Chain A
Amino acid sequence: MNSQRGIFTPARNCVPVPLSGIEPVPVESLLDAVAALCIAREARIASLFAMKNGSAQVQIMAILADDQGGRLMIGTSLLDADSFPSLSAKCPQAQLFEREIAEQFGIVPAGHPRFNPVRFHHSFSGRDAWFRLEGQDIQPSVIPFVRVEGSDVHEVAVGPVHAGIIEPGHFRFQCHGEKVFNLEISLGYQHRGIEKSLIGGPDGRSIHLVETAAGDSTIAHTTAYCQTLEALGSVRQIPLRAMTVRAILLELERMANHAGDIGALANDAAFLPTASYCGRIRGDFLNMTAMFCGNRFGRSAVLPGGVRFTLDRDGVEELKRRFKNSFGDLEDAANLLFESSTAVERFENCGILPRETAEEIGIVGVAARASGIRRDIRFDFPTGLFSFAQIPLVSCDSGDVYARAFVRWLEARNSASFILEQLDSLPQDGAMGIPVQAPKPDSIVVSMVEGWRGEVCHTAVTGPDGRFLRYKIVDPSFHNWGGLEVVLKDELIYNFPLCNKSFNLSYCGFDL
Chain B
Amino acid sequence: MADTNTIAVDVFPLLCGLVLAPFIIGVVNRTKAFFAGRNGQPLLQLYFDIFKLLRKGAVFSRSTTWVFRLAPAVSLASTVSALAIFSLSPEGAALSFPGDIVLAVYMLALARFATVLSALDTGSSFEGMGASREVMLAPFAEAAFFILILAAAVASRSMSAATMFAAAIPLPVRILMFVSLFIVLLVENCRVPADDPNTHLELTMIHEVMVLDNSGPDLGMIFYAASLKLWLFASLAVCCIMPAGLTGGIIGEMALRVAGIICVCILVGVVESVMARFRFDKVRRMLVFASVLSSLALLIAVGVSA
A touches B (Cβ under 8 A): yes
- Do A270 and B35 touch across chains, with their CB atoms under 8 A apart? no
Q: Which residue of A lies closest to B279 (CB)?
A: A346
- Do A342 and B199 touch across chains, with their CB atoms under 8 A apart? no
Q: A271-B276, A273-B273 are in contact. Are A164 and B203 (CB under 8 A)?
A: no
Q: What chain B residues lie within 8 Å of A154 (beta carbons)?
A: 125, 128
> Number of contacting residues on A, CB 8 A?
32
- Do B129 and A269 touch across chains, with their CB atoms under 8 A apart? no
Number of A-B contacts defined by CB within 8 Å: 88
Q: Which residue of B lies closest to A271 (CB)?
A: B276
In the complex, per-residue mask of A153-189: 1 if CB is within 8 Å of any chain B CB, else 0: 0111110000110000000000101100000000000
Q: Which residue of B lies closest to A496 (CB)?
A: B203
In the bound complex, what is the Cα–Cα distance between A346 and B279 (angstroms)? 7
**Contact residues of B between 161 and 197, Cβ < 8 Å to A:** 192-193, 196
**Does residue A340 face the partner (Cβ distance < 8 Å to B)?**
yes
Q: What chain A residues lie within 8 Å of B125 (beta carbons)?
A: 154-157, 175
Q: What chain A residues lie within 8 Å of B36 (beta carbons)?
A: 272-273, 275-277
Q: What chain B residues lie within 8 Å of A268 (beta carbons)?
A: 199, 201, 204
- Do B35 and A272 touch across chains, with their CB atoms under 8 A apart? yes
Q: What chain A residues lie within 8 Å of B282 (beta carbons)?
A: 345
Q: A155-B125, A342-B275, A342-B276 are in contact. Are A164 and B192 (CB under 8 A)?
A: no
In the bound complex, what is the Cα–Cα distance between A154 and B124 (angstroms)? 11
* B interface residue count range (under 10 / 10 to 19 / 20 to 34 / 35 or more): 20 to 34
In the complex, per-residue mask of A320-340: 1 if CB is within 8 Å of any chain B CB, else 0: 000000000000000000001
Partner pick for A494 among B192, B203, B274, B275, CB 8 A cutoff: B203
- Do A493 and B129 touch across chains, with their CB atoms under 8 A apart? yes
**Contact residues of B between 93 and 151, Cβ < 8 Å to A:** 125-126, 128-129, 132
Q: Which residue of B lies closest to A165 (CB)?
A: B200
Q: What chain B residues lie within 8 Å of A272 (beta carbons)?
A: 32, 35-36, 192, 272-274
- Do A494 and B280 touch across chains, with their CB atoms under 8 A apart? yes
- Do A497 and B199 touch across chains, with their CB atoms under 8 A apart? yes
Q: What chain B residues lie within 8 Å of A273 (beta carbons)?
A: 35-36, 273-274
**Does residue B253 face the partner (Cβ distance < 8 Å to A)?**
no
**Does residue B198 face the partner (Cβ distance < 8 Å to A)?**
yes
Partner pick for A267 among B35, B132, B199, B272, CB 8 A cutoff: B199
Q: What chain A residues lie within 8 Å of B272 (beta carbons)?
A: 270, 272
- Do A276 and B37 touch across chains, with their CB atoms under 8 A apart? yes
**Does residue B277 face the partner (Cβ distance < 8 Å to A)?**
yes
- Do B279 and A164 touch across chains, with their CB atoms under 8 A apart? no
In the complex, per-residue mask of A273-293: 1 if CB is within 8 Å of any chain B CB, else 0: 101110000000000000000
In the bound complex, what is the Cα–Cα distance between A275 and B282 (angstroms)? 22
Q: What chain B residues lie within 8 Å of A494 (beta carbons)?
A: 203-204, 279-280
**Does residue B278 face the partner (Cβ distance < 8 Å to A)?**
yes
Q: What chain B residues lie within 8 Å of A247 (beta carbons)?
A: none
In the bound complex, what is the Cα–Cα distance between A175 and B272 (angstroms)? 30
In the bound complex, what is the Cα–Cα distance between A266 and B35 (angstroms)? 15
**Does residue A343 face the partner (Cβ distance < 8 Å to B)?**
yes
In the bound complex, what is the Cα–Cα distance between A495 and B201 (angstroms)? 11
In the bound complex, what is the Cα–Cα distance between A346 and B275 (angstroms)? 11
Distance between B57 CB and nearest chain A CB, rounded to angstroms = 21
**Does residue B55 face the partner (Cβ distance < 8 Å to A)?**
no
In the bound complex, what is the Cα–Cα distance between A343 and B276 (angstroms)? 5
**Does residue B213 face the partner (Cβ distance < 8 Å to A)?**
no
In the bound complex, what is the Cα–Cα distance between A221 and B188 (angstroms)? 48
Q: A270-B196, A343-B276, A346-B279 are in contact. Are A158 and B132 (CB under 8 A)?
A: no
- Do A271 and B275 touch across chains, with their CB atoms under 8 A apart? yes
Partner pick for A270 among B126, B192, B203, B280, CB 8 A cutoff: B192
Can you report 5 residue pairs joining A to B where beta carbons are below 8 Å apart?
A: A177-B132, A276-B37, A345-B279, A346-B277, A496-B203
Chain A residues close to B by CB (< 8 Å): 154-158, 163-164, 175, 177-178, 266-273, 275-277, 340, 342-343, 345-346, 492-497
Other than the given A163-B200, A345-B276, A493-B129, 11 more pairs (CB < 8 A) read: A156-B203, A163-B201, A164-B201, A270-B198, A270-B272, A271-B275, A271-B276, A271-B277, A342-B275, A492-B279, A497-B199
Please give me the 7 A-B residue pairs with the lowest Cβ-Cβ distance, nearest first: A276-B36, A270-B277, A343-B276, A271-B276, A270-B196, A342-B276, A269-B276
